[in-house]
Amino acid sequence: RHDTHVVTCVPSVNASATDCFDAHLSSSKPKPSNRYFFMHCQTAQKSWIERAFYKRECVHIIPSTKDPHRCCCGRLIGQHVGLTPSISIIQNEKNESRLARNDIQSEKWSIGKHTQLSPTDAFGTIEFQGGGHSNKAMYVRVSFDTKPDLLLHLMTKEWQLELPKLLISVHGGLQNFELQPKLKQVFGKGLIKAAMTTGAWIFTGGVNTGVIRHVGDALKDHASKSRGKICTIGIAPWGIVENQEDLIGKDVVRPYQTMSNPMSKLTVLNSMHSHFILADNGTTGKYGAEVKLRRQLEKHISLQKINTRIGQGVPVVALIVEGGPNVISIVLEYLRDTPPVPVVVCDGSGRASDILAFGHKYSEEGGLINESLRDQLLVTIQKTFTYTRTQAQHLFIILMECMKKKELITVFRMGSEGHQDIDLAILTALLKGANASAPDQLSLALAWNRVDIARSQIFIYGQQWPVGSLEQAMLDALVLDRVDFVKLLIENGVSMHRFLTISRLEELYNTGNLPPDYRISLIDIGLVIEYLMGGAYRCNYTRKRFRTLYHNLFGPKRPKALKLLGMEDDVPLRRGRKTTKKREEEVDIDLDDPEINHFPFPFHELMVWAVLMKRQKMALFFWQHGEEAMAKALVACKLCKAMAHEASENDMVDDISQELNHNSRDFGQLAVELLDQSYKQDEQLAMKLLTYELKNWSNATCLQLAVAAKHRDFIAHTCSQMLLTDMWMGRLRMRKNSSLKVILGILLPPSILSLEFKNKDDMPYMSQAQEIQLQEKEPEEPEKTVKEKEEEDMELTAMLGRSNGESSARKKEEEEVQNRHRLIPFGRKIYEFYNAPIVKFWFYTMFYIGYLMLFNYIVLVKMERWPSMQEWIVISYIFTMGIEKMREILMSEPGKLLQKVKVWLQEYWNVTDLIAILLFSVGMVLRLQDLPLRSDGRVIYCVNIIYWYIRLLDIFGVNKYLGPYVMMIGKMMIDMMYFVIIMLVVLMSFGVARQAILFPNEEPSWKLAKNIFYMPYWMIYGEVFADQIDPPCGQNETREDGKIIQLPPCKTGAWIVPAIMACYLLVANILLVNLLIAVFNNTFFEVKSISNQVWKFQRYQLIMTFHERPVLPPPLIIFSHMTMIFQHICCRWRKHDSDPDEADYGLNLS
């Protein structure tokens, strides 16, 4: 508190005193007195709150007629700041003239004339004391005529409050009163629910009396159950606040006692409020300073837009609980406002509320009421407020004026059917009172996130909706992530196919927290999806057709994306039907087609949008709608997993990566459950589902998507494994000893005739193209014979009865086996046998073992000047293998060569094969040279064969017992790499110190690096070089035979080496080696628990590899390559689109 007003004008660095004066004159603030004018020049160094808000203090003492020691402002005369009580002394002097005394007493005290403005001196944070836990609240002391825009700026900018979507203004009795326990519980619960679900602000009187105390009790009960704090703003008169001197201070934290003094006219603030605005009109102990300020602030807030998407202003509702006669006047003021404010009256709370509820119930339209009820109501008013008849009639008139707009009044009666909760009464009153159209009401319900209100009050029978209004609501619901509203809108007729256009989908992607003037195009999104999906996945947004359509619909608005895709030079098409041809790819687009701007499968696009925007509930909702649920689940699983990996790689918050991984698991579980349900209902249809090419998902199959997502549970499912087993066998029908039968068939080709083969009926999940080719290859007459025999067998079974029917059925199965055996010609059997992946596998394996035997021979025997026949075979094997690797790259799925190479290099064995082939090529070139280069080439051969032996581990992967061990080795190698780094630190520390102490006079040489590592490394394995630990040195020694041995001089500090060696061996041999063993043990048990799933997952890659390989292994594979080239040339020459004669009749997995 300031005792004096001695101030000086101190202008800022860039402003003069004249500038201060001009700024003061041009200010729109209320003009203070001349004494305060000079203080305005110091505002540059004050906080914004001090510059914007003022306090009012009485500066002219006029004694009250009731209490001469107290001024008319309510303060004691001695409490006035900066003023002496001279007036009071003069008045008490007997020799003062009566005239002067009468003049002073005739003067009437007024706020405008007898108070002075000065910068506020009370703002900061209150810490309420005396409760179970300390509550805090922001507060500020302001003048009662402060502009509401400044207060709103204070709340949204300084206090960081989010603009409300609803404003609930609570009015009622200021004196303490009791509510029925049940009513109090319902009132508190409903008020809190209305505020929490809609993001509302609650305005109250702020002090701890009357209805405000009941609001505080409701907030206290909520605070004990939930962490979320409701924004409750108390607007109270500064002059009636108890212990107001404790709040004096600028930007301070003040403790505040909530114990009120029963002898005082003042009252304490309610501790459950979050913010306080203390209106100051210079008076003390008087209410009313806050009335005008509160109403203006409510009016100003109602003019604000809820958000940029919804054009509705913030709705305001008045909640009336109990109250005196002035409350009825407040209700009338709300109802007469423009626009009118709806009012909710809590019936049963007492006094004014009950009178309003009675009048609302029994009054007619236009505010008329029955004469008998009129008299009864007048008597009730007199008794309730102890009014005279005249006063009661005056209040009755005000009441009837309120009833003229009774449609704006909603009465909440506990237990009534219309309103079970007060929150429904509040929100329903707002919808009813706003007199808005159905779309505007829907926007309000959407902003409040109250789908129950929308369902019961807005989507009612007979409601007419303007064209496109529901689509705008759908867009708002998607942006605001209101899943329940999206569901409700779809239920009420919103067509997602019609709703989702290219521009709307792009708008959805641009609703995030993007930098200013930054916009994402769908082509950019396509690039992101392709990056996350990896491999050869091609998003529809980056395909030629979509890019051309996008370019013609929107023009060159997205140069960044178009440049990345090499489309910046494309010529825009004119409107109409046009065709663009580039690299033999034709794009036929009719821009006049009304459906061209829509998506055929909108739920696909929206689910991907929800996944990328990390809206899991919305993504799950869209997954439930539309087609291809299994594919959508797998795509979402992969996208979430890829985003989680990117989040962890970019050092982002761990919670984001964990959340995305959790989302990925959810979608993965959905995919497995869907596959399991499909498999239980129809096995063949489930397998067909796995092999169906999905045009909307880059022509991939569900099995490919599961592999891309590394979804082990999906691949390990019985349905997937049956499919893979069927493909592994090709058209061979074998149950037991399949490997032995295949090896026998390779070594003894005539034994192929004894094998069983499948016909078309046994492969119902082939693709349609494969079925057509199979019908062309196989004759139809035998099939007719089979059908005839089946009919005959059925008739025979019916004739012979049940017992004979069983034997005939058994005979029928035997005949079917024989018919299948006879139906396939000999040449077809040979072809199908050698094209089965299992046969290719053993064929390649046998040749590979032969290749290794020959490689062993050429490195173990003497190398001649020119390569021998065995060496030429090895060279041809490596050479043809290199050609096969090139074929794999060229025939892979991606379109561009660079992308083909990138996808091919993602496979570990491809990278190592490339290195081994290149290394062998270098060795072969050196081997053909003269000595000594020939010897270098031979050494490269010797090193190269190590890799080709390790390559056998990939062959072991097909075995269910050896496969998991191979994966364990890979995992342990990764663990060992981290261990080697730690070991290197320990080894270096000992090796460098040992070398430096024992050999202090070494010359610079690369041999030093070898000596540092050589002996310390072998010590890890137990070779400690005992004779070199502490060699003898110093004085000469005499042996037993009398000879004198001359010893080398001792190195300075040589005794340190054994000591540090002991420490080194303790750490390296015991600690680190055992740590590595423990890590290996942990890895073993981790992999062991999922070994079966891992093996089944890796089995897919092996089967796909041999499914796509040519029949002949290297080096004979060159003939297969020549055949492919010949067929390709013939097909291009004949301009045929059909596949070559040697077609693939396996499952369509790629």
Give the 3-state secondary structure of residue 72.
coil
- Residue 311: exposure state from Cβ atoms within 10 A (0-12, 13-18, ≥19): exposed
Confidence band, pLDDT 50/70/90 cuts, at residue 91: very low
Assess contact for 176 and 209: CB atoms under 8 A: yes
Instruction: Inform me whether the pLDDT recorded for 65 exceeds 70.
Output: yes
Instruction: Inform me whether the pLDDT recorded for 449 exceeds 80.
Output: yes
Instruction: Inform me whether the pLDDT recorded for 765 exceeds 70.
Output: no
Instruction: Inform me whether the pLDDT recorded for 122 exceeds 90.
Output: yes
Instruction: Inform me whether the pLDDT recorded for 258 exceeds 60.
Output: yes
Res 106: pLDDT: 59
Percent of the chain at pLDDT above 90?
A: 36
- Return the amino acid letter for 601: F
Res 275: pLDDT: 95
Res 819: pLDDT: 52
Least reliable range by pLDDT among 206-210, 473-477, 544-548, 1138-1142:
1138-1142
Count CB neighbours of 142 within 10 A: 26
Count CB neighbours of 192 within 10 A: 23
**Nearest in space to 283 (alpha carbons), one of 458, 56, 14, 126:** 56
Res 44: pLDDT: 39
Structure-token pair, residue 998: 């024992």
Instruction: Inform me whether the pLDDT recorded for 842 exceeds 50.
Output: yes
What does the pLDDT average to over 803-813?
48
Res 806: pLDDT: 46
Rounded Cα gap, residues 655 and 661, in angstroms: 10
Res 357: pLDDT: 92
Res 42: pLDDT: 42
pLDDT digits (tens, 9 = 90+) for 999-1017: 888 888 888 888 888 888 8
Name the H helices within 435-521: 438-448, 451-453, 469-479, 483-491, 496-499, 502-509
Name the H helices within 316-455: 325-336, 351-362, 371-385, 389-403, 422-434, 438-448, 451-453
Phi and psi angles of residue 837, each rounded to the nearest 5 degrees, phi first = -55, -35
Q: Is the dihedral of CA 433, 435, 441, 444 positive or negative?
A: negative
What does the pLDDT average to over 580-598?
57
Instruction: Inform me whether the pLDDT recorded for 563 exceeds 90.
Output: no
What does the pLDDT average to over 439-459?
86
Confidence band, pLDDT 50/70/90 cuts, at residue 457: confident
Res 132: pLDDT: 59
Confidence band, pLDDT 50/70/90 cuts, at residue 557: low
1101: Cα within 13 Å, side-chain hemisphere: 17
Query: Which of the pair, 759 or 734, is modelled with greater confidence?
Result: 734
Least reliable range by pLDDT among 86-100, 485-499, 541-555, 819-833:
86-100
Assess contact for 834 and 843: CB atoms under 8 A: yes
Res 564: pLDDT: 42
Instruction: Inform me whether the pLDDT recorded for 514 exceeds 90.
Output: no
Confidence band, pLDDT 50/70/90 cuts, at residue 1036: low
What does the pLDDT average to over 772-784?
48
998 φψ region: left (φ > 0), alpha (ψ -120 to 50), beta (else): alpha
Least reliable range by pLDDT among 145-154, 617-626, 970-979:
970-979
Phi and psi angles of residue 380, each rounded to the nearest 5 degrees, phi first = -65, -40
Report in angstroms the alpha-carbon separations of 574 from 128, 578, 582: 71, 8, 17
Res 1145: pLDDT: 37
1100: Cα within 13 Å, side-chain hemisphere: 24
Phi and psi angles of residue 1063, each rounded to the nearest 5 degrees, phi first = -65, -40
Confidence band, pLDDT 50/70/90 cuts, at residue 613: very high
**Nearest in space to 147 (alpha carbons), one of 293, 298, 26, 305:** 293
Instruction: Inform me whether the pLDDT recorded for 582 exceeds 60.
Output: no
Res 13: pLDDT: 34
Instruction: Inform me whether the pLDDT recorded for 877 exceeds 90.
Output: yes
Cα 62 from chain centre: 66
pLDDT digits (tens, 9 = 90+) for 167-215: 999 999 888 888 888 888 888 888 998 888 888 999 999 999 999 999 9
**Nearest in space to 731 (alpha carbons), one of 691, 689, 690, 763:** 763
Res 416: pLDDT: 62
Assess contact for 1061 and 994: CB atoms under 8 A: yes
Q: Extract long-range pairs of 999-1008: CB within 8 Å, 24+ residues apart.
A: 1000/1051, 1000/1052
Res 868: pLDDT: 92
Instruction: Inform me whether the pLDDT recorded for 1045 exceeds 50.
Output: yes
pLDDT digits (tens, 9 = 90+) for 334-377: 999 988 999 999 998 889 999 999 999 888 877 788 888 888 99
Count CB neighbours of 834 within 10 A: 17
Assess contact for 249 and 122: CB atoms under 8 A: yes
Please report, to the nearest 10 degrees, the dihedral formed by the alpha carbons of residues 628, 631, 634, 636 taken in order.
Answer: -60
Rounded Cα gap, residues 959 and 967, in angstroms: 12
Rounded Cα gap, residues 765 and 777, in angstroms: 18
Report in angstroms the alpha-carbon separations of 608 from 438, 472, 563, 613, 670: 31, 21, 24, 8, 16
Assess contact for 139 and 288: CB atoms under 8 A: no
Instruction: Inform me whether the pLDDT recorded for 328 exceeds 90.
Output: yes
Rounded Cα gap, residues 1015 and 1027, in angstroms: 13
Confidence band, pLDDT 50/70/90 cuts, at residue 17: very low
Instruction: Inform me whether the pLDDT recorded for 229 exceeds 90.
Output: no
Name the H helices within 38-135: 48-52, 86-92, 98-106, 111-114
Confidence band, pLDDT 50/70/90 cuts, at residue 816: low
Confidence band, pLDDT 50/70/90 cuts, at residue 574: very low
Query: Which of the pair, 480 or 263, is modelled with greater confidence?
Result: 480
Angle at Cα 70 formed by Cα 69 and Cα 75, nearest 5°?
140
Least reliable range by pLDDT among 34-48, 371-385, 658-672, 759-773:
34-48
Res 718: pLDDT: 93
Least reliable range by pLDDT among 316-320, 582-586, 679-683, 704-708:
582-586
What does the pLDDT average to over 636-645?
94
The mean of the pLDDT values for the chain is: 81
Instruction: Inform me whether the pLDDT recorded for 1062 exceeds 70.
Output: yes
Res 591: pLDDT: 60
Instruction: Inform me whether the pLDDT recorded for 301 exceeds 50.
Output: yes
Query: Which of the pair, 610 or 91, is modelled with greater confidence?
Result: 610
Instruction: Inform me whether the pLDDT recorded for 12 exceeds 50.
Output: no
DSSP lists the bridge partners of residue 124 as 139, 252
Q: Where is mean pLDDT largest: 228-242, 433-447, 456-470?
A: 228-242
- Return the amino acid letter for 345: V
Query: Which of the pair, 989 or 568, is modelled with greater confidence?
Result: 989
